[in-house]
Chains A and B, each alone.
Chain A
Amino acid sequence: MAEPARMARAPGPLLRVENLTRYFDVSPPLLNRVFEGKGRLYVRAVDGVSFEIDAGETFSLVGESGCGKSTVARLVVGLYQPTRGTIDFEGVDLGSAKARAANPQMQARMQMIFQDPYASLNPRWRVGDIIAEPIRFRRILSGRAAIAERVGALLRQVGLGANDAERYPHEFSGGQRQRISIARALAGEPEFLVCDEPTSALDVSVQAQILNLMKDLQRRLGLTYLFISHNLAVVYHVSSKVGVMYLGRLVEWSETKTLFARPRHPYTRMLLDAIPDLAMSGRARTPVAGEVPSPLNPPSGCSFHPRCPWANERCKSERPEAQRVPGGGAVACHAVEEGRLPEGPAVAPPAIA
């Protein structure tokens, strides 16, 4: 297939997100506020998140439900507007709706793949029309024959057949539908793909097929991924860098190997410890007490302190800022900064032969 034309790129990361914040207004209705004296109420879904993604790499965000990872994905592609903060895509700030509208060529370079392949494809459109829509919308090609040829090439690229264009989404299995979603995302000739839990709805053997396909496409087309997942093993497999989110904040990010071999933040350690052990080394899982608090009313100071075994007075009152650590990456933790954490165990179990 034709490689999308690459523009000469300015040095620096492809995407730089700084202090990204998004609050959702969940206030009671006006009359209740007036008569019952209730105030406004906000969910802090994303609260001051900063990270960078270099071209050609895969940056993953992990965390439990409600930590704000999907909101970050939607902010980056412009499905939500940030309350504060900048989204810098190759030097152009896309942090407001106005900026997005003024830079359609930048917006065209990013696409999104959604979690649920049953909900993200229009059941009344033929697969060929679904995939051709970005081509028509962006006026990448004109003429029925040229578009049909391109759709056929895209379908073959994701492992389907060119004649599948005539069929409807319901005729495909979940894994095949996710391949159609990927073909649709690639139709706009993007460089940057935001993948929100692309394999969570799939069986493990199908998940392996999709992950392999995504890696092949990345190598062949030079794609950059922002990958959102709750599955740490999947994240380990696909990413070059990993960020861990907790209650709307990025608590730690680092190179993948470093993060899994030497997790620093207590929450990261806890997450790694909670993974079921397939190697059956007999390692006892240490279940962590407590649950994720409500983002409506996050704890004071470090939001992880009620569950953290190393929390002290400072953690309860003062919110830790992300500090660069030697060896790359950053951690937002007072205990790490003060050096009162024991060195983390290398949690990575040996791979199964």
Chain B
Amino acid sequence: MSSALLEVRNLRVEFPTRRGTLRAVDDISFSIAPGEVLGVVGESGAGKSLTGAAIIGLLEPPGRIAAGEILLEGRRIDNLPYEELRKIRGRQIGAIFQDPLTSLNPLYRVGDQIIETIRTHLPLSEAQARKRAIDLLQEVGISSAAERVDHYPHQFSGGMRQRVVIALALCAEPRLIVADEPTTALDVSIQAQIITLIKRLCREHKTAVMLVTHDMGVIAETADRVAVMYAGRIAEIGPVRDVVQNAKHPYTQGLMGAIPSIGGAEERLAQIEGSMPRLTAIPPGCAFNPRCPKAFDRCRVDRPEPIPVGTTQVACWLYEDARAKEAVHG
């Protein structure tokens, strides 16, 4: 796809340890179009946050990109020197993290933090930058922004702090925002406000978003496409409606069944037995095979690669036969 804003090709993230190399993200590929919201879901340890960190260039050593390429508007950014990457980060890629308290410096007024970021990336004077900071705070829904700009982070509530972080991510008008669990620390009524805000801002600024979360509800409401991750691999990726309502991969099906729904009459939730394998003990073949109710011999030996099934891409041997048949008949 040449129209992609962000393209990730065969990305692999590894952690060298004394007991061998751990592969936290293993050979994943996806792309995000301009203005598109890609949701990345998965349970803890699936590698979703590390994928985000690799794109922003904030992998904590000894974690490193071991293979693959990350392209932003056709330009490779994964092998840039630190200073080059620093210019891109903030200017072209914004970041929103889970905990708004740790992403803000408690010793500086929020206005000064926004102004500093604006002036790092844009050629504006102090006064112009301050005006822009106030406009941004207003845009993210902070009332009496002219006053609030001089307050410290502790004077804001959790939801308001997250709005400040969003303003900070937006201040250089980046093309892509990587949002890692932006609503997880917030109450449900505040969560709705923040999601609505992110959606509105992306529409107005035509910003693409990579939304990393474990909450299927947030994805269903916000994302255009969704990637489901399991043990460092993408199990399924496709348009959000198809994945949520007509999941193909047995893991996605299990995940959807495990979510309690309001109005549902089921007495028991569908449950996936066991838990995600540790990175030190990823089973051969498909990583999901020990928990998969539909696993057969091939799943225990060969690792499935994503193949197109309808509108989605699914990494599962169940669909290989269907595709082969289609090829014969078609």
Contacts and interface: CB of A to CB of B under 8 A. Distances in A.
A351 B265 contact: yes
Contacts of B196: 285, 287
Interface in A218-243: 230, 232-234, 236-237
B261 A278 contact: yes
Interface residues of B, number: 47
B2 interface: no
B53 interface: no
A2 interface: no
B220 A215 contact: no
Contact of A204 (B241, B245, B258, B266): B258
A173 interface: yes
Interface string B213-247: 01111101100000000000000000011001100
Interface string A264-293: 000000111111111110000111110110
A96 interface: no
B187 A64 contact: yes
A207 B43 CA distance: 11
Given A278-B259, A349-B263, A205 B191 contact: no
Interface stretch (B9-17, B62-70, B202-210, B270-278): B270-278
A274 B189 contact: yes
B221 A277 contact: yes
Contacts of B254: 205
A252 to B, nearest CB: 16
Contacts of B244: 278, 280, 352
B259 A204 contact: yes
B260 interface: yes
B124 interface: no
Interface residues of A, number: 48
B43 A274 contact: no
Given A204-B258, A209-B273, 18 more contacts: A65-B187, A173-B275, A204-B216, A205-B255, A230-B187, A232-B188, A237-B260, A237-B264, A270-B189, A274-B192, A278-B216, A280-B220, A285-B221, A287-B192, A288-B189, A289-B193, A349-B263, A352-B261
Interface of A: 64-65, 173-176, 203-209, 211-212, 215, 230, 232-234, 236-237, 260, 270-280, 285-289, 291-292, 347-353
22 contacts: A203-B276, A204-B255, A205-B258, A205-B275, A206-B43, A206-B275, A208-B270, A209-B271, A212-B271, A237-B264, A237-B269, A272-B262, A275-B262, A278-B217, A278-B220, A278-B261, A285-B195, A287-B189, A288-B189, A289-B193, A291-B157, A292-B187
